């Protein structure tokens, strides 16, 4: 386990673990890792923490996770072993208590046989993605017992495995490209949700669904009640995790076929005629097989250029569909307009294979900074007339909140936080259902339109929805601009009222001879105030969503942008988050910038997000606005910042403020509160000004505003 894992076990920050290593000679020695990122043995760490009185008992979920993270064969192998044990617990529930009572040596000998039987029943005799890993279970016996206990604690094997898999994915965010649940459910609904061809045939038989780049199985898990599930991934470990994830899903039928290998170069299902194909292919790959696959029969619509790997995946998906079957792929927006792919796009349109292009908002799926597209395709039925129109839907700007351009910010996180995903889901499904039923759709300005194919077959064959949708009504645009102008005028008037008066005499402003506040006993630090009980400190980033109403999360970006809480708590086992109360002071610890927020009524009750420190002052000892104002001073944040890594980190305990009576604190606090109100008014004026200027540019350009 790493120093971060030790900190989670003990409920402290990583700095405390570093201090323990320096101050305690008996602290466990590293057993692996590197000099800058050492790893430690879980058993040694637990023993030391208990001896020091820093740990009463390790929570079961944390113990099982640490066994996975520190497994000698690697975390993925450990996850596979845990998933196999959970499958055995569910499918051999009557026999498991007797197996669990066996000593480790006996259990090691019995488990492989029991697992082989269970896996054969669930996944069939041919399961190459799991066979090699079942043979070496001896180091995992404690983990298998812990996984079984975790399933009992969490109320089922599926939530237990999803929790462990989720922890692994969260711990390695750059290693995997995931499809979030929102886009996954939308893609599954588009591909399987009662298409016109199925309705005409009057059949509701279970579907055969394929994902040729299945990753960890997010898309296949989103399909409701499939008849057969087929998946393939180039990464053998991911294919194994997908097979177990599907097998542990109570809603998934027993016909599960998951294989490893590159679907383009070594297709594991060459004779498959699936009802639906879902795919989130790798983007912008140059080494996808261009040289060796030049004469492949799948290139029915044209041989993709080396730079058009996504169009190779599109044609692979179509080749694995039955006539009338539907494929939905998550695509980069460039695939709709690159000149190198225009001939293939044109042939897809002419022959009726491409039925819809949907622009999603930025933040819907990684990479979060750009608005990705969904392509809905259908394999043509021989003899049927080709569709004359293509459905274009643009949700890229209609279902995000105000306050910034879509896709801007760190990794597009602001767009992700503001995304109204239920509205996106509903808008896309409503448009597709109507179009799929009638073959046409009344245009909704700026949102959706059924475009005649003949209009798209020009020199560019540009299928980006925003370039073919009519603008919103001119009257509506002019009305909105008038409202923005009125609000801007009111806000500018308010800024004049709030502009601070000039101060030329420090003594008149309550300062001493050098312009510093008059203090009764020098200065103190946040750490000293915490030890004295004048305030309490809480670190953010913990907690899970409760079973009842959802809890919003105040993120570090919300504090920096001065916006309402926009995050959401993750699902998982019950874990109490840190909830905000009015008068709390919140400080971001990354970036080294001067940003401090006093919690007001709109943010009250939200959870504290990652990379935030909460200071809860005792109202009888500290005024919150006085505290926030001095913590924000440039010299204060500069001396309390650390530059030991690539990201500047603020040590909140080192921040200083003067000692002074409560009445004097409140005098300063009122001044700081007035400055905060002035600052927020300036922000609002800036946002309204940008909105008005851009609206006038757009109106003059499209003719909705007269010169």
List 2's β-bridge partners, or say none.
39
Question: pLDDT (tens digit, 9 = 90+) per residue, 549-595?
Answer: 678 889 888 888 888 888 877 766 667 888 999 999 999 987 665 68
Q: Are 518 and 664 in contact (CB under 8 A)?
A: yes
3-state secondary structure of 533: coil
Question: For 353-477, where are the E strands, in sequence order?
Answer: 354-359, 373-378, 389-394, 448-452
Q: Phi/psi at 38 (nearest 5 deg)?
A: -75, 160
- pLDDT of residue 74 exceeding 70, the answer is yes
Calculate the dihedral angle through the C-alpha atoms of 226, 386, 313, 216, rounding to the nearest 10 degrees: -20
- pLDDT of residue 432 exceeding 90, the answer is yes
Question: pLDDT (tens digit, 9 = 90+) per residue, 278-310?
Answer: 999 999 999 999 999 999 999 999 999 999 999
pLDDT at 446: 76
Q: How far apart are CA 122 and CA 229, in angstroms?
A: 12
Q: Are 484 and 693 in contact (CB under 8 A)?
A: no
Q: What is the pTM of this model?
A: 0.69
- The H or E element spanning position 586 is strand 585-588
**HSE-up (13 A, CA, CB side) for residue 609:** 22
Tell which residue, 495, 551, 517, has the closest CA to residue 684. Answer: 495
- pLDDT of residue 56 exceeding 70, the answer is no
Q: What is the average per-residue pLDDT within 421-445? A: 88
Q: Are 153 and 190 in contact (CB under 8 A)?
A: no
| C-beta neighbour count of 441 within 10 angstroms | 23
Strands 208-211 and 274-279, sheet pairing: parallel
């Amino acid at each position: 386990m790493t120093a971060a894992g030790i900190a989670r076990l003990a409920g402290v920050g990583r700095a405390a673990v570093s201090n323990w290593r320096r101050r305690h000679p008996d602290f466990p020695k590293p057993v692996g890792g590197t000099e800058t990122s050492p790893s430690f043995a879980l058993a040694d760490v637990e023993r030391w923490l208990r001896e020091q009185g820093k740990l009463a008992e390790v929570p079961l979920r944390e113990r099982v996770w640490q066994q996975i993270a520190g497994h000698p064969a690697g975390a993925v192998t450990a996850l596979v072993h845990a998933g196999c044990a959970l499958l055995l617990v569910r499918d051999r529930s009557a026999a498991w208590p007797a197996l669990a009572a066996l000593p480790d040596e006996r259990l090691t000998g019995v488990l492989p046989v029991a697992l082989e039987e269970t896996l054969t029943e669930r996944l069939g005799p041919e399961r190459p993605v799991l066979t090699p890993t079942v043979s070496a279970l001896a180091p995992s016996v404690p983990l298998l017992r812990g996984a079984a206990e975790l399933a009992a604690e969490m109320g089922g094997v599926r939530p237990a495995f999803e929790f462990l898999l989720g922890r692994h994915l969260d711990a390695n965010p750059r290693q995997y490209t995931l499809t979030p649940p929102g886009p996954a459910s939308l893609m599954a609904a588009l591909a399987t949700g009662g298409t016109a061809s199925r309705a005409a045939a009057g059949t509701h038989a279970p579907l055969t669904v394929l994902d040729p780049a299945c990753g960890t199985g997010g898309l296949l898990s989103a399909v409701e009640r499939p008849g057969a599930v087929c998946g393939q991934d180039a990464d053998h470990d991911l294919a194994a995790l997908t097979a177990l994830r599907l097998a542990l899903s109570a809603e998934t039928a027993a016909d599960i076929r998951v294989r490893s290998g590159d679907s383009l170069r070594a297709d594991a299902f060459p004779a498959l005629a699936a009802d639906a194909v879902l795919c989130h292919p790798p983007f912008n790959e140059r080494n996808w097989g261009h040289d060796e696959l030049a004469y492949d029969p799948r290139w029915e619509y044209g041989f993709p250029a080396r730079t058009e790997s996504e169009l190779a995946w599109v044609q692979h998906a179509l080749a694995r569909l039955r006539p009338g079957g539907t494929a939905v792929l998550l695509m980069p927006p460039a695939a709709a307009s690159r000149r190198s792919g225009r001939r293939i796009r044109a042939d897809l349109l002419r022959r009726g294979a491409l039925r819809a292009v949907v622009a999603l908002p930025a933040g819907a799926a990684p990479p979060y900074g750009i608005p990705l597209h969904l392509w809905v395709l259908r394999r043509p039925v021989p003899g049927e007339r080709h569709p004359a129109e293509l459905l274009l839907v643009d949700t890229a700007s209609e279902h995000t909140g105000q306050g910034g351009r879509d896709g801007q910010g760190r990794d597009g996180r602001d767009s992700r936080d503001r995304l109204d995903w239920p509205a996106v889901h509903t808008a896309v499904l409503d448009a597709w259902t109507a179009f799929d039923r009638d073959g046409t759709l009344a245009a909704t300005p700026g949102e959706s339109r059924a475009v005649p194919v003949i209009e798209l077959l020009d020199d560019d064959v540009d299928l980006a929805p925003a370039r073919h949708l009519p603008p919103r009504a001119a009257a509506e645009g002019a009305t909105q601009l008038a409202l923005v102008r009125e609000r801007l005028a009111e806000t500018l008037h308010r800024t004049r009222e709030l502009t601070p008066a000039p101060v030329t005499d420090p003594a008149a402003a309550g300062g001493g001879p050098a312009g510093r506040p008059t203090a009764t006993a020098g200065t103190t630090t946040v750490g000293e105030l915490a030890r004295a009980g004048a305030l309490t400190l809480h670190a953010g980033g913990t907690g899970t969503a409760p079973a009842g109403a959802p809890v919003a999360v105040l993120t570090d970006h919300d504090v920096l942008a001065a916006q309402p809480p926009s995050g959401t708590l993750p699902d998982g086992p019950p874990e109490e988050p840190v909830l905000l109360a009015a008068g709390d002071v919140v400080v971001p610890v990354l970036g080294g910038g001067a940003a401090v927020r006093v919690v007001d009524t709109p943010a009250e009750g939200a959870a504290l997000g990652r990379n935030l420190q909460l200071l809860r002052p005792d109202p009888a000892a500290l005024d919150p606005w006085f505290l926030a104002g001095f913590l924000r001073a440039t010299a204060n944040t500069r001396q309390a910042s650390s530059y030991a890594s690539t990201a500047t980190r603020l040590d909140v305990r080192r921040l200083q403020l003067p000692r002074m009576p409560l009445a004097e604190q409140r005098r300063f606090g009122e001044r700081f509160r007035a400055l905060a109100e002035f600052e927020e008014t300036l922000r609002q004026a800036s946002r309204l000004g940008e909105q008005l200027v851009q609206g006038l540019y757009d109106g003059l350009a499209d003719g909705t505003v007269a010169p």
